Amino acid sequence: MNQIRLVHTTAFRLAMRYTGFVCLLTIVCFAIIYWVTISQLNTQIDAGLRAESTALTRLYALKGISGLQQTIAALSTTKSLAASDTGDAGPRQYLLTDAHFRTLAGSLTDWPAGIAAQDEVWTTLRLRALPGQPGLDAEHHHFEMRAVALALPKGYHLLVGQSLDELIELRNTILVLTAAAVVLVLIVGILGGALVGYGVLRRLQNVTRTADTIMAGDLSQRIPEEHGEDEFDALAGKLNAMLERIEQLMQAAREVTENVAHDLRSPLTRLRGRAEMALMKGGDAMRQREALQKSIEETDGIVATLNAILSIAQIESGKRRDWKPVDLAAVCHDAAELYAPLAEEKSLKFSADTGNVPAVTGNRQLLAQAVGNLLDNAIKYTPTGGRITLSLTANGPQSVITVADSGPGIPPELREKALERFTRLDTSRSTPGNGLGLSLVKAVAEHHGALFALEDNHPGLRVSLTFRSRPA
């Protein structure tokens, strides 16, 4: 058995592709958020530092170095009051030195190396954290700091810094969130894909399971149809219709076999009996000759029946051979011409009215045979002096062939039965025929997508074949 694996299903693979796409989109979104947020924060930090350094420069101008020294000492110990005031992230760091970079006040111990403080220098520093340094967590050995170094008049140096810890924290948070979002998308995508894939797989397995059962010989199996409207139900519906048709054909084939067996057994029995009787009768050459003659006739009858059964079976098998546009008027006209003398012979009033109708697509031989059979039946069953009409009329897009007679007709309850194979309503078997005439007409009608109806002609039988002008 060809088990389909979930990961190989189209639905799952499509879901995976889609998931990958969504992951990429998530990463791009978070990257944009990251860059916007970080650059915003950087700008804010720089603005805060600029404001602070400007304020301190002004304080120095007003109160001189001692005033500044006091303020910075106060700021360095009061654990980032300013920071919380301004709403900045993280505590500020200060350092005031003299011209030789000797510390005068501040939270930092030494002037960071590498900064030549002329005018104003912006930099990002990585510093070793001091134990107990205000505003810094003990576990941080290093911290990053955004700083501005200023050269004050009289050779003093001032450095104002802002720890970037919170910025880094935010950055990490965004990264973690991104990873989480991607993982979530992956989980949802894989689960969703599996779910969809499983759903598709399950419904397809309905089909494969049914196919397996059918292959094992049970043709009555059908694919279960579910919610009603989706493409799988449409597919199941189509497949079921196909199976229905196949089963019908198998059934028809079986019927043919049974019919052949049934309907040929009696004439074969007669044939055999006749041959045996001829042997028994001994020397009478005349009677033997007669028996042989009868045997040949019986054989011809058997062959005719066999041919009729086979041609009905062939028509019912649905293979459209010799399929061409056919002029129904010509078909009816020819049939009328062929049968008119026969009707006349029996003193029946026969009239044919064949109007022009659009051509239908079909097999001329079969249509001619069908119309011929209808006329033959009508002539056969209508008593002498009766009336038979053949007409072809256009009824909108439809073309209707009607054969009506004034014979005994068929009672409504027997009409269905009349179409069955080998049904002959006169049980006496006084009329010649194998009981396949109407079955053939019915088969030809179905083959051409035409409607075949038996109606009351008050009195008599009216048979009509209704064709769409362009049967599919």
Partner 1 sequence: MHGWPTEAGLPYALCMHLLIIEDDAETAAYLVNGLQESGHAAQHAGDGPTGLQAAQAARYDALVVDRMLPGLDGLSLVRKLRDAGNTTPVLFLTALADVDDRVMGLQSGGDDYLAKPFAFAELLARLAAIVRRHGAPEPAMQIKVADLEMDRLKRSVKRAGQPIALQAREFRLLEYLMLHAGQTVTRAMLLEQVWGYHFDPQTNVIDVHLSRLRTKIDKHSVQPLIHTVRGTGYRLGESPP
The residue range among 33-41, 86-94, 116-124, 427-435 that interacts with partner 1, by the rule CB under 8 A, is: 427-435
Closest CA to 96 of 114, 78, 74: 74
Q: Based on CB atoms, which residue is closest to partner 1, 373 or 382?
A: 373
Q: Based on CB atoms, which residue is closest to partner 1, 52 or 376?
A: 376
Calpha distance 451→442 (Å, rounded): 9
Q: Based on CB atoms, which residue is closest to partner 1, 151 or 342?
A: 342
Calpha distance 415→422 (Å, rounded): 14
339 is a contact residue toward partner 1 (CB under 8 A): yes
Nearest distance from C-beta of residue 337 to partner 1, angstroms = 6
Q: Based on CB atoms, which residue is closest to partner 1, 45 or 366?
A: 366
Q: Based on CB atoms, which residue is closest to partner 1, 48 or 437?
A: 437
The residue range among 254-262, 284-292, 399-407, 433-441 that interacts with partner 1, by the rule CB under 8 A, is: 433-441
Q: Residues 155, 341, 397, 459: which binds partner 1 (CB under 8 A)?
A: 341
Q: Residues 244, 258, 322, 426: which binds partner 1 (CB under 8 A)?
A: 322
Nearest distance from C-beta of residue 386 to partner 1, angstroms = 16
Nearest distance from C-beta of residue 311 to partner 1, angstroms = 8
Q: Residues 137, 226, 337, 353: which binds partner 1 (CB under 8 A)?
A: 337
Q: Based on CB atoms, which residue is closest to partner 1, 206 or 365?
A: 365
Q: Residues 69, 103, 314, 469: which binds partner 1 (CB under 8 A)?
A: 314
Nearest distance from C-beta of residue 292 to partner 1, angstroms = 12
Q: Residues 334, 446, 455, 456: which binds partner 1 (CB under 8 A)?
A: 334
Calpha distance 457→443 (Å, rounded): 23
Q: How many residues does the chain have?
A: 472
Residue 257 is encoded by which pair of tokens? 């076999």
Calpha distance 394→62 (Å, rounded): 115
Q: Per-residue x/- marks for partner 1, 366-405, CB under 8 A?
A: --xx--xx--x--xx-------------------------
**Cβ-contact 317, 256 below 8 angstroms:** no
User: What is the bridge-based pairing of β-strands 157-163 and 103-106?
Assistant: unpaired
435 is a contact residue toward partner 1 (CB under 8 A): no
300 is a contact residue toward partner 1 (CB under 8 A): yes
365 is a contact residue toward partner 1 (CB under 8 A): yes
Nearest distance from C-beta of residue 313 to partner 1, angstroms = 11
342 is a contact residue toward partner 1 (CB under 8 A): yes
Q: Residues 112, 193, 386, 437: which binds partner 1 (CB under 8 A)?
A: 437
Q: Based on CB atoms, which residue is closest to partner 1, 249 or 306?
A: 306
Nearest distance from C-beta of residue 359 to partner 1, angstroms = 17
Q: Residues 179, 303, 414, 451: which binds partner 1 (CB under 8 A)?
A: 303
321 is a contact residue toward partner 1 (CB under 8 A): yes
Nearest distance from C-beta of residue 227 to partner 1, angstroms = 45
Calpha distance 461→386 (Å, rounded): 12
Nearest distance from C-beta of residue 424 to partner 1, angstroms = 12
Q: Residues 310, 323, 325, 451: which binds partner 1 (CB under 8 A)?
A: 310
Could you list the residues that contact partner 1 (CB under 8 A)? 296, 299-300, 303-304, 307, 310-311, 314, 321-322, 334, 337-339, 341-342, 345, 365, 368-369, 372-373, 376, 379-380, 432-434, 437
